[in-house]
A and B are shown apart, each in its own frame.
Chain A
Amino acid sequence: MATQTQADTRGRAALRETQFSRENVELGFGRILKWLFIIFFVITTAFPFYWMLNLSVRPIGDVLQNPTRLIPTGDQLAHFWDAYQSVLVDFHFGTYIGNSLLVSLITVTLTLLLAIPGAYAVTRLDFRAKSLMSWGILLVYMFPAIVIGIPLFVIYSQLGIRGSLPGIIVVYMSGTLPVALYMLRSYFQTLPAELEEAALIDGCSRLSTIWKVILPLSVPAVASVALYTFMIAWNEILFAILFLTETPTSWTLPLGLRQLDTQEVPRTFLMAGSVIITIPVIVLFFFFERFLTRGLTAGAVKG
């Protein structure tokens, strides 16, 4: 029996070495298929963004005449700034960038400020509602945004805060907090408890333990949460459409860009606007890819 198996294995190994064994044929075929798919994916994922850049530097007349010009002429490149300037100055993109930055940064700060102590409590402190809290976190982030949008619209209208930025920041926080808590909790669980116990014995209060011991150890996790939160607030458009449309002074970048999408506005400007809103995200992504990927999978971005 043993010898038979051995012979069998040897036979198969011999078969595999021949050029047209199933193994080799499939591997060769797989390699071709793999490169075809790589080309397919690069074209479908990266090319649209290149095209966005391309269309943002070519005047609309040229786009209509030469729709397939893949590389802008030198002259067009020399004047690439024109569309961007129009968008920033004539279409108030400066204001929108300011609003978006304000909203995103405040959301990030407040989310971290609440989520770090919260996550610490859920990981390290013992209390009765603990498991309920963990379930609640999961549940909350399944909720349909559009469903809570209607009642919030009514309440915000009555309170007179519908067009205000603080109003929308709170809404963004309600979306980012559960995920931030979840991500930070899974990170804190990997930290050894002995470290902070030493600090506690040395007479540190719990809060200063979080500040002096936990936080310095959690830089990667905090960075992930900050990036994730920033991107959510920076990209968000549903609540911006619902709440801010009537108050142009509070438009965020995505909303401002959407309002630009009308027949009268040349597409070149639209693409310049798209580039402006996309660049920060892509840059952040390339600098912090490692953190971001962790954030995307650990928290599973609500998309």
Chain B
Amino acid sequence: MAARVQGQKDVVMLQQLSILELAIYALVWALAGGIAGFYLFYSLNRNPRNGARLGVIVGVVIGIAGALVGIIDSAQAFINTIFVIWTATLIAAIALPQAQIGLGTHDKTVTMRQRIADLAYGLLLPTFVIVMVIVIFPMVWNVVLAFRPIRLRDLPDLRLFSLDEFTLDNFNRVINSRGFVDTLVRTFVYTISGTVLAILLGLIAALIVKDRFPGRNLVRGFLLFPYIAPIISVVLIWKLLFNAQFGLVNEVVDALGGRRVDFLSTPATAFTMVILFQAWRYFPFAFLFILARIQAIPDDLYEAAKVDGAAPSQRLLHITLPQLRAVFGTLFLLRFIWTFNKFDDVFLLTGGAANTQLITIEIYDQLFSARNVGTAAAVALILAAVLFVIVGIYFRWFMVEEH
């Protein structure tokens, strides 16, 4: 009788877990157990790969059984259990060899080559785990979130990995919302013009600083200021410089007989301002790259051109710029990706008001203004997909160009 009740309970619990949930539990437990087994066996001079295998099996069994029975079913319990297991392993890995337990000579089945590889895995595992947990897993899981109707208020007791209620509603809502296409187009315009301007400014700065002049080191230092200063403080000073009432720029405009403008909140100027800000803040990055490349151009090239009678402008056009081609290519790609993804700058400057809404700010607005996790994840997925396609095209084009 008791056994039957128990059995029923298990069946009930089983039905509550979807295949995806079980798979993710198994995966995480396999990872947690495998890592524990690896280090434990390593410290005991046993074959760490056997330890990892054993750990995976034990982990999966404990994890899935725990989830099915309902002991380890919340994310919190989940993390706590893993934490306990890892701490116990760590103590065992340190204490057991000290107590001379299980410590023999090296496992004879392990080759020198494998021992070196195992050491490498051991040294890299912590980094690998952090990157998996904080970057790769969220990236993948964002896809699942984008197809689920989740509101911010559902969060506390949401079943994280449920596969129920899969729907395209989030995408419908986002794509059909007013201004979404505008936002996407605006993001492109912002990214391309900001990137090109930043590279152009960086090129000019590098051309200036490449030769000696009095105060060169100081100027070189100043040139990096916009880039190294905390974003929040440069945003605040821009806001004050362009303030309509007492901003210095408006004083100049006033003195020149112009009309005062609230640059950062007037739709006519705000978008230009955020592009200029982007160029101003990130040109030092381009500057450093270009300067390093310019200084690596051999002097002979210039000497030869000079002998042939090439004027300075021709030397710039026919020697320096062609030598910088590859750097421009790399810079454009890097800056394009990072500007396209960039959230803080424009969010802090205008909050997306006055025709400066970008796709990254849209993600934030969906999460905190619309309080909708699903649509936020959907916009994020669209962003990642667009970026992926563009980078793909760029590489294809670049490769063809190179051949």
Contacts and interface: CB of A to CB of B under 8 A. Distances in A.
A299 to B, nearest CB: 11
B79 interface: yes
A254 B232 contact: yes
B119 A46 contact: no
B377 A140 contact: no
Interface string A1-45: 000000001001001100000110011001000100110011011
Contacts of A215: none
B229 A271 contact: no
Interface string B139-162: 101100100001000011010100
A140 B313 contact: no
B384 A147 contact: yes
B233 A278 contact: yes
A125 B116 contact: yes
A282 B119 CA distance: 40
B208 A34 contact: yes
B64 interface: no
Interface in B175-215: 204-205, 208, 213
Interface residues of B, number: 94
Contacts of A289: 221
Interface of A (DSSP majority class): helix
A150 B380 contact: yes
Interface of B (DSSP majority class): helix
Contacts of B119: 121, 125, 206
Given A114-B126, A147-B380, A152 B208 contact: no
A296 B232 contact: no
Contacts of B398: none
Interface in A163-192: 170-171, 173-174, 177-178, 181
A41 B123 contact: no
A154 B117 contact: no
Chain A residues touching B, range: 35 or more
Interface of A: 9, 12, 15-16, 22-23, 26-27, 30, 34, 37-38, 41-42, 44-46, 48-49, 51-52, 55, 63-64, 67-68, 114-115, 117-118, 120-122, 125-130, 133, 136, 140, 142-155, 157-160, 170-171, 173-174, 177-178, 181, 206, 231, 234-235, 237-238, 253-254, 257-258, 261, 267, 270-271, 273-275, 277-278, 281-282, 285-286, 289, 292-293, 296-297, 300-303
Interface of B: 74-76, 79, 113, 116-117, 119-121, 123-124, 126-127, 130-131, 133-139, 141-142, 145, 150, 155-156, 158, 160, 204-205, 208, 213, 219, 221-234, 236-241, 245-248, 251, 280-282, 285, 288-289, 292, 307, 309, 311-313, 334, 337-338, 340-341, 343-344, 348, 360, 363-364, 367, 373, 376-377, 380-381, 383-384, 387, 391
Given A114-B126, A257-B233, 19 more contacts: A38-B208, A41-B222, A51-B240, A51-B248, A52-B233, A52-B236, A67-B251, A114-B127, A121-B120, A140-B136, A146-B343, A147-B341, A150-B377, A153-B373, A158-B76, A235-B230, A261-B239, A302-B338, A303-B281
